[in-house]
Amino acid sequence: MLSGLADPAKVLGFLDISLMVKGEWDPSLMLVMMTALGVYLPVYLLWVKPRMAISQGPMLDSQYHVPNRSRIDGPLIVGAALFGLGWGMLGICPGPAVVNLSSLDPMALAFMAAMVLGAYLGRLIQRLIARRQQCPVEA
């Protein structure tokens, strides 16, 4: 909340780089991201990665849940594009959206409802595709 990352207007002011020409672009969120990376990267490199190398899990779970796929495929591209479109149009992403729920703002509630519905539909589509690949319809 202090950084402004949960404020859609501030996020849009950062994402809209065309505002640079007018001198109205707000780069302050870049400092927030760089600070977060500056905290996370040493912790990951000095604590998480060595523990993963010796198959030692985190303190409150049996294993670390890190992505193990490195292939760029269609679902990744479509998902990233949809995420980027939503973030660019509304200036909000899932983490700050959860924070904004506390305001009981109807837009925040609608965003979260749409996000949950989208996640449900995405899983449903994945299941349908997997089922179709298992039992192809003969023509």
The string of DSSP letters for the chain reads --SSTT-HHHHHHHH-TTHHHHT---THHHHHHHHHHHHHHHHIIIIIHHHHHTT---TTSSS----------HHHHHHHHHHHHHHHHHS--HHHHHHHGGGT-HHHHHHHHHHHHHHHHHHHHHHHHHHHHHSPPP-
Statement: residue 106 has pLDDT above 70: yes
Digit-coded pLDDT (tens) for 21-34: 888 888 888 888 89
Q: Which amino acid type is present at position 19?
A: L
**With contact defined as beta carbons under 8 Å apart, do 90 and 111 qualify?**
yes
Kindly report the pTM of this predicted structure. Answer: 0.59
Percent of residues, the chain, with pLDDT higher than 70: 97
